[in-house]
Structure 1
Amino acid sequence: MASIRTLRTAPPAPAPDWALFLDVDGCLLEHAPAPHLARVPAQLPQRLLRLAAELDGALALVSGRSLQSLQALFPDCADLCLSGMHGLERRSAHAPLRAPAPPESMLALAGEAARFALDYPGACIEAHGPCLNLHWRAAPQAAAAMGEFADAALTRLPGYRQHRGAHGIEIRPDGMDKGRAIAELLGLAPFRGRVPVFAGDDPADEPGFAMVNAHGGISVLVGERDDTGARHRLAAPAQVRAWLGVSAEAG
């Protein structure tokens, strides 16, 4: 992977032949102590809808969040394509996709994780279908214990793997990631035949960067991580929103 020091300061301005894929937390939105506390700037939803129209619909949010969570964040964007849980589910006028049902062992683990998190005020557990997310951004003292919990959980979840980030762990079915999610979208209208562009901040976004790079597209890291496959960089979500044409928000 390339060092962030070799990346250009910013990607080119959006072009009408793009297929634009955007991560949400840490990319469009600033990270919050817990996912349900994320704040959507007032101008952002309408700008996303206008940009989608300018791209003939070729704009999708590609997130680790569930569709339910994305829809709650962006209730005024009913026509926007959404790829949730790293592509395990999708809202699309052309090819909707329902997430697979969770195994019984996942249901049990979700309950155990919720009880376990009570010992660490500020820690947050999200259980959506076949995925379990452990967050400790607001409870850094929980990091080691949650890592041990995730390691033990995998012994009860054949066909699953964990994806570790700076402030959390995602446990999800193996074989699905944002690279595959983007590849599937590129095979569908209205994304087919366009220049793929993906912006994200987390190590879980690296498969997406690799995918768009392989298709001659534009990959954009948001933030200051040292190692990435992305070829462009923006410093923070505020710069992402400015890149997309959202005016600076007060407060």
Structure 2
Amino acid sequence: MAETPVLPPPPPIDDSCALFLDVDGTLLDFALRPDAVDVPEPLGPALEALHQRLGGALALISGRSLRTLDTLLAMPVLPASGLHGLERRHGRFGHRAPQPPRSLSLVLAEAMNVAARHPGAVVEDKGSAIALHWRAAPNASDELRAFAHAALPRLPGYRLQPGNDVVELRPAAYQGRRADKGAAILAFMDEPPFAGRRPVFAGDDITDEAGFAAVNARDGVSVLVGPPRTSAAHFGLAGTGQVHAWIGVGR
């Protein structure tokens, strides 16, 4: 089988671009638990400087909730999209995540019972969504995936969102519009100061593929972070260290 080719590095960040950055696996290294990630001290100042340099055209595009992002990074001034596009913050623009159905609380309790059988497995309550993590319990992956598939019919309007050592149960749309990272990026691109700029998006996960497709459609720069794999991205960086160098962390 032919090896997946290594993608070329992205061009330097141009002052006239609109920059979108995934968080986990792109800005932050993964940890065994989602609440155990380490945030390098120079990251915040670098993001703040980049936000100023780009005239405000910098946004975080994450699967985490906005509340969790603010706890991690302590930068509530940054435009951001959370929960894979289900919530978005940008001044007078944006929206909150939809209220979860009552059945989600029952599914959450059952998921916790399943995870309890596998030390290291984590069930993350995201409010409108549930994430089942097995990074620290790889033997739990089959049972957690099976549980998610079985629970899906009980959550009308929800979809499964696979990721790196995780599967999520989350709403597929917001107010009739699809919810994913690509839709979130395109929404920002219709608003100042993002409008009229060339979009640039860096992400690592399968959940970021919708974002890559969105920026490619706008003649933008799509950057896959991590080992080479089949992807819509046109450029690549080997890991978070190269991302930090690219965006100027520690300069």
Query: What band does the TM-score fall into relative to the shorter chain?
Result: over 0.9
What is the rounded CA distance, in whole Å, between the counterparts of 2:4 and 2:92 in structure 1? 37
SS at 1:198's partner residue?
A: strand
Which runs of no fewer than 5 residues in structure 2 stay unpaired? 173-177
Code of the aligned partner of 2:121: A
TM-aligned CA deviation for residue 165 of structure 1: 2.2
Unaligned runs of 5+ in 1: none
Aligned with residue 183 of structure 1, among 186, 207, 214: 186
Report the equivalent of 2:73.
Answer: 74
Q: Please report how far the alpha carbon of residue 4 of structure 1 lies from its aligned counterpart in structure 2 after TM superposition.
A: 4.5
Q: Tell me, in whole angstroms, the C-alpha distance in 2 between the residues paired with 1:90 and 1:180.
A: 11
Counterpart for residue 47 of structure 2: 48
1:204 lines up with 2:207 in the alignment: yes
- The one-letter code matched in structure 1 to 2:191 is L
Matching residue within 139, 158, 161 for 1:160: 158
TM-aligned CA deviation for residue 225 of structure 1: 4.0
SS at match of 1:125: strand
The secondary structure found in structure 1 opposite 2:5 is helix
What is the aligned partner in structure 2 of residue 5 from structure 1? Answer: 5
| Cα contact 1:219–1:231 (8 A) shared by 2 | yes
Give the Cα separation in 2 of the matches to 1:108 and 1:137.
Answer: 24
Deviation beyond 6 Å, 4+ runs, structure 1 = none
> Contact conserved, 2:7 with 2:228, CA < 8 A, in 1?
no
In the alignment, which of 81, 89, 100 is matched to residue 102 of structure 1? 100
Alpha-carbon distance in structure 2 between the residues aligned to 1:210 and 1:150: 27
* Greater Cα shift, 214-223 or 174-183: 174-183
- After superposition, the C-alpha distances for 1:98-139 in whole angstroms (9 at most, x for unaligned) are 110000111211111122211111111112122111110011
Corresponding residue number in structure 2 for 1:139:
137
8 Å contact 1:162–1:171 — kept in the other structure?
A: yes
Aligned partner of 1:7: which letter? L
Instruction: Establish whether residue 123 from structure 1 lines up as the match of residue 126 from structure 2.
Output: no
Q: State the Cα distance separating 1:80 from its structure 2 match.
A: 0.8
Partner of 1:87: 85
Corresponding residue to 1:195 among 198, 202, 213: 198
TM-score, normalised to structure 2's length?
0.94
1:173 is aligned, of 171, 174, 186, to 171
Shift, 1:82, TM fit:
1.4
Describe the SS at the equivalent of 1:137: coil
Q: CA RMSD in A?
A: 1.3
Pair 7,225 (structure 1): closer, same or farther in 2 beyond 3 Å: closer
Q: 1:71 to 1:213 in 2, by over 3 A?
A: same
Amino acid at match of 2:39: V
Distance 1:173 1:78 in 2: 24
Match of 1:219 in 2: 222
Q: Are 1:63 and 2:62 counterparts?
A: yes
> SS of 2:168's equivalent?
strand
The residue type paired with residue 205 of structure 1 is D
Match of 2:224, SS state, is strand
Number of aligned residue pairs: give it: 244
Q: TM-score, normalised by structure 1?
A: 0.94
Distance 2:208 2:199 in 1: 14
Q: Which moved more, 1:50-59 or 1:162-171?
A: 162-171
User: Percent of aligned pairs with the same residue?
Assistant: 48
C-alpha distance in structure 1 between counterparts of 2:232 and 2:185, whole Å = 16
| Contact 1:198-1:212 within 8 A present in 2 as well | yes
In structure 2, what is the Cα distance between the partners aligned to 1:138 and 1:105? 28
Distance 1:235 1:4 in 2: 14
